[in-house]
Chain A
Amino acid sequence: MSRLAAKFEELSKSGRKALIPFITAGDPYPEFTVPMMHAMVEAGVDVIELGVPFSDPMADGPVIQRASERALAHKMSLRRTLAIAMEFRRTNQHTPVVLMGYLNPIEAMGYEEFANATARAEVDGILTVDLPPEEGEHCAALLKARDIDPIFLLAPNSSEERIRLMDAIGSGYLYYVSLKGVTGAGHLDTANVKAKLEQLRANTNLPVAIGFGVKDAETAKTIAALGDGVVIGSALISKIEANLDTPAQAKQEIIELLASMRLAMDSNGA
């Protein structure tokens, strides 16, 4: 069983929901990331999504775009992101790590080499924003052969047919993008998310993590009640951006926000 499947099973047994932070590897500088990952684990997160910086992040809003730009200014790359994941894994064997990024760095590395490098780094899942299942079967097969979960996005306008397609090709969890738009945009419409989740549940048994628009403990709690996990990205990266000269402060604020979310989410069913 993959580390992700085991994690979601463990959470399900204890009636808890996954708290999944997203940070961009190498933002604001490369040495920041591994200690930040460990600190997030201490704050109670279950899975870490690590953004692979890309020069043209078409599906991301300005906050994550700028995170990519800051990381790229430090020559961050897919290879160096994998090195960060590997370093994290040396002292943490239990927290699943998912790489989230765009396809071209993988194309440049080559699919086979990418799958091998990902396995060596003991990365658990790969989410490639611009690789829909139609184009991604080959890559998904290479990853699955190495016990790495290919994770796919679902959107509010995804049809039932597409949900079943993701269910067939994806594994680990499905990432439900809870609003139309780029990362960091707008506000969640809880009623819509709830209705969509019912449709998702009817077509897949995979865990569903919900992201886009989760900003604070209150929304995390509300969203956690609807799915199996909550992804929080832009709200964390905003803390980094607000404290570029004081990274220790950024780290502290991120930890506090995640801890407050953990607390709120765990009090949900109680």
Chain B
Amino acid sequence: MTEKYTMPDARGHFGPYGGMFVAETLIPPIQELNAAYQRYLDDPDFIAELDKDLQYYVGRPSPLYHAERWSRELGGAQIYLKREDLNHTGSHKINNTVGQALLAKRMGKTRIIAETGAGQHGVATATVAARLGLECVVYMGAVDVARQSLNVYRMKLLGATVVAVESGSKTLKDALNEALRDWVTNVDNTFYIIGTVAGPHPYPAMVRDFQAIIGREAKQQCLDATGRLPDALVACVGGGSNAIGLFYPFIDDASVAMVGVEAAGDGIATGRHSAPLSAGRPGVLHGNRTYLMADDDGEIIETHSISAGLDYPGVGPEHAWLKDTGRAQYVSITDNEALDGFYALTRMEGIIPALESSHAMAYAMKLAPTMRPDQTLIINLSGRGDKDMQTMARREGIEL
């Protein structure tokens, strides 16, 4: 790759993917959002305010931690963890919500809505809404409300209204449907903070740009620590925001391998998984063209993953493009393998990862031993596991 990477085009296309596939009512607010985003993208005042928030409110930069013991144990590459779990609210999601909330404020919007799966994006949204004194409504699938009750409570503490969505499969995709319906109805005063690199243009590019701080920091930190670029990057992919945040600043560095890890659930062969890039097909959902989990009739298939944050039938369109061009590789990890990753990091390094991030850990356990000890592997530790304590305890037969 010698030409500089410039995706997406002006209308939000990453090759055949992305775009703006929405009902007419949403076109004007999306155009309004896009205009504001383009305007503030390079606005020094906006960037200064964002940088200040990221430093003093989010707690950036997040460390790039050398997991020496785990690296030795696996006997291959030197493993570095990008510690997004140490951010305020416990995951990378806040990088984006801080950015979009600043945009909402500048656009004069008084009401914030969001969808959430694991609840991390919902918490990160409720957090910034509380700080700015904005009304906040979070849509969450009823199934996710049940399995992530701790985050539901956090959102309510922060003053948000959490709406349990009972339609369809009652998970993240249905929460997104419901948030889109809310936005269609309340376009005048409402800003929709999408939590991942999906949705209609400009969301995939905008969320990527807000998350790209992960990769920019990691690149500099890796150079400082090792004197050179990393050899490989690994991140979990649901919608794909933490992965694109890490990958994006490295796209033009051809020597850096990039691996996205999807959720294989019970196993790809069982059909009970959330791995559209590994086992799906291109289609259109939630405003963009991308790889989807759909049947021959184009109906969306229900997905499965132990981690609510990866339980989504689509994936950001830029990942679809990176897959097709071969710039990134996409693999999958089952629920059971993810649990191995969860326990390994917890016991080896004293860091309890989120179940989403555990998928990246589990793949790193396969990849690192195939690499040399003088090579560097960066894993995005996208969130902390506190929210998963109930799920894990229940699996171990313990009621908290």
User: Which A residues have a C-beta under 8 Å from some C-beta of B?
Assistant: 54-59, 61-62, 65, 69, 72, 77-79, 102-109, 129-132, 134-135, 152-159, 162, 177, 180-182, 185
Contacts and interface: CB of A to CB of B under 8 A. Distances in A.
Contact of B285 (A104, A109, A131): A104
Contacts of A131: 21
Interface in B292-330: 292, 294-300
A108 B286 contact: no
Given A104-B300, A107-B282, A58 B177 contact: yes
Contacts of A107: 282-284, 289, 298
A62 B296 CA distance: 25
B292 to A, nearest CB: 7
Nearest to A108: B298
Contacts of A162: 24, 27
The 9 closest A-B pairs by CB, nearest first: A108-B298, A105-B298, A181-B185, A77-B297, A155-B25, A153-B24, A59-B23, A104-B298, A157-B28
A58 B314 CA distance: 15
Contact of B294 (A108, A130, A154): A108
A159 B19 CA distance: 20
A164 to B, nearest CB: 14
A132 B283 contact: no
A181 B184 contact: yes
A177 B25 contact: yes
Given A107-B289, A155-B23, A158-B24, 18 more contacts: A55-B300, A56-B173, A56-B177, A61-B181, A72-B299, A78-B297, A104-B285, A104-B300, A108-B283, A108-B297, A108-B298, A129-B23, A132-B20, A132-B21, A134-B19, A153-B23, A155-B24, A180-B184
A130 B185 contact: no
Nearest to B177: A58
B19 A108 contact: no
Contacts of B284: 102-104, 107, 130
B293 to A, nearest CB: 11
Interface string B149-174: 00000000000000000011000011
A58 B284 CA distance: 12
Nearest to A105: B298
B180 interface: yes
B298 A78 contact: yes
Contacts of A156: 25
Interface of B: 11, 19-25, 27-29, 167-168, 173-174, 177, 180-181, 184-188, 281-287, 289, 292, 294-300
B181 A182 contact: yes
Contacts of A109: 298
| Interface of chain B, main secondary structure | mixed
A158 to B, nearest CB: 6
Nearest to B299: A55
23 contacts: A56-B168, A56-B173, A58-B181, A59-B180, A59-B181, A59-B184, A65-B167, A104-B299, A104-B300, A105-B299, A108-B294, A108-B296, A129-B23, A130-B284, A132-B23, A132-B27, A134-B19, A157-B28, A162-B27, A180-B187, A180-B188, A181-B25, A181-B184
B209 to A, nearest CB: 22
Contacts of A69: 167-168
A139 to B, nearest CB: 11
Contacts of A102: 284
Nearest to B302: A55
B28 A158 contact: yes
A151 to B, nearest CB: 11
A182 B185 contact: yes
B24 A154 contact: yes
Contact of A185 (B19, B185, B299): B185
Given A55-B168, A132-B21, A135-B20, A104 B294 contact: yes
B20 A152 contact: no
Listed residue (B24, B177, B285, B296) with the most chain A CB atoms within 10 angstroms of its CB: B24
A130 B283 CA distance: 12
Contacts of B282: 107
A78 B117 CA distance: 30
A79 B298 CA distance: 11
Nearest to B179: A58
A198 to B, nearest CB: 19
Contacts of B299: 54-55, 72, 77, 104-105
A158 B27 contact: yes
Contact of A135 (B19, B281, B286, B300): B19
Contacts of B286: 56, 58
Contacts of B177: 56-58
Nearest to B13: A135
A130 B300 contact: no
Contacts of A180: 25, 184-188
A118 to B, nearest CB: 15
A107 B17 CA distance: 13
A51 B187 CA distance: 25
Given A107-B283, A158-B27, A159-B28, A132 B298 contact: no
A84 B27 CA distance: 32
Contacts of A154: 24
Contacts of B180: 58-59
A132 B181 contact: no
Contact of A134 (B11, B168, B287, B297): B11
B24 A152 contact: yes
Nearest to A154: B24
A162 B167 CA distance: 32
A49 B187 CA distance: 27
Nearest to B19: A135
Contacts of A135: 19-21
Contacts of A79: 297
A180 B286 CA distance: 18
A252 B174 CA distance: 34
Nearest to B11: A134
Listed residue (B168, B180, B294, B298) with the most chain A CB atoms within 10 angstroms of its CB: B298
